[in-house]
Amino acid sequence: MSVSNRAPSELLNSRRSPLLVFSGQSNRALAQSICDHLGVPLGRSKTEKFTNDNIIVHYEESLREGDVFIVQTFSTPVSDAIMELMLMIDAAKSASAGRVTAVIPYYSYARSDKKDSPRISIAGRLVADLLQEAGADRILTMTLHAPQVHGFFKVPVDHLSADLVLSQHFKSCVPDAHNGVVLAPDAGSIKRASQIARRLDSGLAMIDKERISDTEVRPRALIGDVEGKTVFIVDDEISTAGSLVETVNIARSMGAKDVYVAVTHGVYTGPAIQRIAGLDVTQVASTNTVLVPDSKVEAANGKLAVLDVAPLFADAITNIHTGASVSTLFT
């Protein structure tokens, strides 16, 4: 049938941009799992490093007019991950992609969201500028350390939450979770903790703490009652696990019965795994926004669990691609 003989709706459908998903190097396992849930193959691309450390990215299939999603989480080495993502966005635009969405499960620079000491960069905003300058048309991310980082972007941002995954996990571990208490490790996490407490129909408590440096925190008081209760600690991320150790210690000293921990991003830097292995908790769970190698799971003394958020990202990509609502995924 010639183009002119086809019904307009048929023409429109035939011209819908194909869904194409590619991955940077930082978490290919998550990207592959997202593709498996979507039922599409992971796009073919290659990243290489020259001897002088320059990165080159090369797509091995056509992207022309495609609805392109590039999965890249900001985990170690973070600067390489950001640079590779910018090159992938730029190369996709140069290859005539129709629309490019940067899928950033963990946006690490969200921790740098304000000028809280003199002569520093608000790097969360700078990285947002760089991604947009490279050509990102949309951003899909999860649990920003500070939700207002969303506002650093002028392009649309879909900000997913892992709260549903974390609370369902608590319920599967502790059937009478409603008798427990969700504990927020600091004022910044009280909103998230309160949403999870609502989902569990449980109590809520908070620790008042002071951050001394990047690696040191000092707890001041626990507001609420945890005595004799199962305590669920929730946070956006665990990096060195310094905050977690302080939070668990104070909960224990106030008489907590059992302690379960669930966070969105398990970054586990420096002494984190060693600290978790020796921690007086039943379990520490994090999602796979950051790749947790088997070696770390094994070294954590049976304490570490990894929860899968690939289905949530796959649903979000489907809805963005088809123009459906993304907020329906939160309920």
The interface region with ligand R5P, picked from 19-27, 239-247, 297-305, 309-317 by CB under 6 A, is 239-247
Q: Of these residues, 154, 209, 229, 257, which one is catalytic?
A: 209
The reply on whether position 224 binds ligand R5P by CB under 6 A is: no
Nearest to 248 by CA among 240, 258, 239: 258
Question: Quick check: is 209 catalytic?
Answer: yes
100, 241, 259, 314: residue in contact with ligand R5P (rule CB under 6 A):
241
Query: d(Cα 217, Cα 151) in Å, to the nearest integer?
Result: 28
Q: Is 189 in the site for ligand R5P (CB under 6 A)?
A: yes
Q: Are 192 and 163 in contact (CB under 8 A)?
A: yes
Which listed residue (242, 300, 314, 329) binds ligand R5P by CB under 6 A?
242
Cα 86 → chain centroid: 18
Least distance CB 215 / ligand R5P (angstroms)? 6
In this complex, which beta carbon is closest to ligand R5P, that of residue 244 or of residue 316?
244
Pick one of 69, 186, 315, 317: the residue that binds ligand R5P (CB under 6 A).
186
Q: 3-state DSSP call for residue 202?
A: coil
Reported as type and span, the H/E element at residue 277 is helix 272-277
Residue 254 or 267: the one with the smaller Cβ distance to ligand R5P is 267
List 107, 237, 261, 286, residue binding ligand R5P (CB under 6 A): 237
18 touches ligand R5P (CB under 6 A): no
The distance of closest approach from Cβ of residue 301 to ligand R5P in the complex, given in angstroms and rounded to an integer, is: 18
CA pair distance 295, 292, nearest whole angstrom: 8
Q: How far is Cα 113 from Cα 34, in angstroms, rounded to an integer? A: 29
- Residue 112 as a binder of ligand R5P (CB under 6 A): the answer is no
The backbone torsions φ and ψ at residue 60, rounded to the nearest 5 degrees and listed phi first, read: -105, 20
Under the binding rule (CB under 6 A), the answer on residue 147 touching ligand R5P is: no
Judged by CB under 6 A, the residue of 185, 203, 219, 266 near ligand R5P is 185
Residue 108 interacts with ligand R5P (CB under 6 A): yes or no:
no
SS3 46: strand
- Residues 45 and 57 sit within 8 Å (Cβ to Cβ): yes
Answer whether 130's CB lies under 8 Å from 154's CB: no
Contacts of range 109-112, beta carbons closer than 8 Å, 24 or more positions apart: 109/74, 109/78, 110/144, 110/145, 110/146, 110/149, 111/145, 111/146
Residue 87 or 248: which CB sits closer to ligand R5P? 248
235 belongs to the binding site for ligand R5P (CB under 6 A): yes
Size of the site for ligand R5P (CB under 6 A): 14
Q: Which is nearer to ligand R5P, 157 or 238 (CB)?
A: 238
Of 244 and 310, the one with the shorter C-beta distance to ligand R5P is: 244
Residue 166: half-sphere exposure toward Cβ, Cα within 13 Å: 35
Among 18, 188, 224, 311, binds ligand R5P (CB under 6 A): 188
Instruction: Tell whether residue 67 is a contact of ligand R5P (CB under 6 A).
Output: no
Rg (CA), the chain: 21
Nearer to ligand R5P among residue 272 and residue 307 (C-beta): 272
Q: Which of 239, 264, 283, 286 binds ligand R5P (CB under 6 A)?
A: 239
Pairing relationship of beta strands 181-184 and 157-160 according to DSSP bridges: unpaired
Cα angle 108, 111, 117; round to 5: 140
Using CB under 6 A as the binding rule, whether residue 113 contacts ligand R5P is answered as no
Which residues make up the interface to ligand R5P (CB under 6 A)? 185-186, 188-189, 235-244
Enumerate the active-site residues: 209
